[in-house]
Amino acid sequence: MQQLSGHDASFLYLETPNAHMAGTTLMIYDQSTAPGGRVTFKGILQDIEERLHLARSFRQKLCWVPLNYDHPYWIEDRDFDLEYHVRHIALPKPGDWRQLCIQTARLLSRPLDLSKPLWEMYVIEGLDNVEGVAPGSFALVLKTHHAAIDGVSGMELLSAIHDPAPDASPPQPIKEWKPEDEPPAWQLLARANVNNFMRPMHFARVLGRTVPGLGRVQRELRNQRARGVSLPAVRRTRFNGTVSPHRVVDGLRVPLEEMRRIKTTVPGATVNDVALTIVGGALRAYLNDKAELPADPLVAMCPISVRTEEEKGMAGNKVSAMFTSLATDVADAGERLVAVREATHASKELTNAIDARTLSEYSQFVPGALAGLGARLSSDLSLANRTNPPYNVVVSNVPGPQKPLYFTGAQMETQFGFGMVHNGMGLMHGVMSYCGDMMLCITSDRDMMPDPAFYTDCLKQSFQELSTATR
């Protein structure tokens, strides 16, 4: 039995009927590359069953403390049923990209059953008309709750079901898996009393690590103001209101080598800066088309992994965040990259002033019952429609492998990551890489973005403009 951190548990507390805290990875495979040229659903079940020991998230479920008096626990599910979690569907003809996106968005829109391990996997066959993908390919949609994984540990979960070669075998378990019974309520409440008694002392230690950084933050803010650099005021857009229960997803593949070339044209720029610049150009074009572009630049929240080497391979969330301008007020793509690079540099300086890992620890002190009540009241009262948001959109960059991966012997052709939206923030960008490609992925609320294919075209146009402007 292992207790969730405050950060992990916060994704449970903040879940509402219209905003489920789960993300999805969409992976496409060419089954002709598998031994025998064919993959069966029975073979997939057998392959996953042999790998369950490689990731604890597969068989762990939640054990709630009565009255949310403390954060819940993970326990090994005695009633684990693999066939409940792995499901099989097919697209009707012609089996194209738009159909696949619609089906994935519908799966993402459904809540996970919180009484079972927090993941579902859908095998989708019938991909006969997807550009750049061999006819007869199949997709895998892996849906996981954010309480169990962050972007980095999510990639590690994916590594549990993949091999570096089509005929590789999974490693054998070191020890036998043992299920657990749920502890009685009195035992959970006794643990909660001890934890709540210790929490003020933990808070004092975290606060002690924070105070020295406050002076550094003030000095850095003064330096940035002297240089004329500051985070703009956040203006509400169509993406900053109350979300519906329905989602849309889409994505674009671009050459990773070109992204790397572009970054070299601005000293100190990173591939992430290039991705942010492309997103800024796409948002500028999209909102201009709707006659809704604010004069001030839009602001993105970018998750930052604070996972140490010792914590690699562990489930849960180890993230902080930085906030940066997307320079949507800059028309020229090349000048926008310069502005984004300057903004991210300033944001990193502020984030480093107070250790990002220390900041992430404050979530440990969130009262569960109060946080959940606040999220539901905010949703019921539509407060997101009445207040200015802390940021407009999310851009999350999770680097992926650059060598081919195989699932049940079939080679992965590409992958896309679709995340969470919530009240006040209805557009998330996932940035992923795999085998020489970078995928720019979007998840949005269906009411806020009824035309995801058009927004994807805006991303493509923004990438092309930036590529041309930096030659």
What does the block give as tokens for 47? 């392959």
Whose CA is closest to 432, among 459, 397, 406? 397
Cβ count within 10 A of residue 177: 12
For this structure, is 429 an active site residue?
Answer: no
For residue 16, the cross-strand partners are 19
Q: Read off φ and ψ for residue 83, nearest 5 degrees.
A: -70, -20
User: Strands of 406-407's sheet, edge to edge?
Assistant: 86-90, 119-127, 137-145, 22-30, 410-418, 406-407
Q: Pairing state of beta strands 437-445 and 247-255?
A: antiparallel
Catalytic residue among 71, 146, 422, 429, which? 146
CA angle 436, 144, 54 (to 5 degrees): 75
Q: Under a CB-based contact definition with an 8 Å cutoff, are residues 321 and 301 in contact?
A: yes
Q: Pairing state of beta strands 393-398 and 299-305?
A: parallel
Q: Which residues are catalytic?
A: 146
